Amino acid sequence: MSQRIKRRTAMVGGAAGDLEVVLEMPDEPVGVAVVCHPHPLYQGTMNNKVVHTLARTWISLDCVAVRFNFRGVGKSAGQYDNGEGETLDALAVIEWAQRQQPVGPLFLSGFSFGAMIAYRAAQQTKPVALVTVAPAVDRIRAAGDQPQCPWLIVHGDKDELVPIETMLRWLDELNTVPQLAVLESAEHFFHGRLLELRDVVSDFAEPLLVPEARKDIA
């Protein structure tokens, strides 16, 4: 879809100081999506290619896409806090994002470590849906109850950091099994598979958008 995208950066107040945020807005947005990046101690930033792919997917669905750097990453203040402080960062950005786009549904998404943060944030907010890409299963296992919303997991069956067998064992422990999309021969960082990742997320999320809102811009 060809459209103009308005892009702006901002510094958003968080518990440990200001957080570096990028907001990308299509012409007539119908919702907002926040994307959480992978592990800060392993070069994870909001410019990660999977994070960027998720943001572009949300924009293609006419949602405002919001990416941000966790505390201690890029221009964001503070230092790594083992997921606890990073969850507070996400909640601060979600609140800010909803003020920028108060109309339409909220989507939460994240990659790897960021998937765990999005999962935690979903327990305290009211997203229409949650998308977790190659989630850090061991971290999520200790992250509390399942969010009460439609939930998609995208995983590669050749994931070298979170083996698919670990993922499947974890799913067997859950009360309600989320939707699972396994990309054959895909690794943790989805090298060469980003278009397929985009399509899977888009197919999941598009039916969840508010029909009346999309009708208004048709």
Per-residue pLDDT tens digits for 68-126:
999 999 999 999 999 999 999 999 999 999 999 999 999 999 999 999 999 999 999 98
The rounded distance, in Å, linking the Cα atoms of 73 and 75 is: 6
Residues of the domain holding 181: 5-216
Predicted confidence band of residue 57 (pLDDT cuts 50, 70, 90): very high
Place of tokens 């592990």: 39
**Is residue 25's pLDDT more than 80?**
yes
Q: Write the CATH number for 146.
A: 3.40.50.1820
The rounded distance, in Å, linking the Cα atoms of 146 and 178 is: 10
Coil/strand/helix, residue 21: strand
Per-residue pLDDT tens digits for 180-193:
999 999 999 999 99
- Residue 195 CA, distance from chain mean position: 16
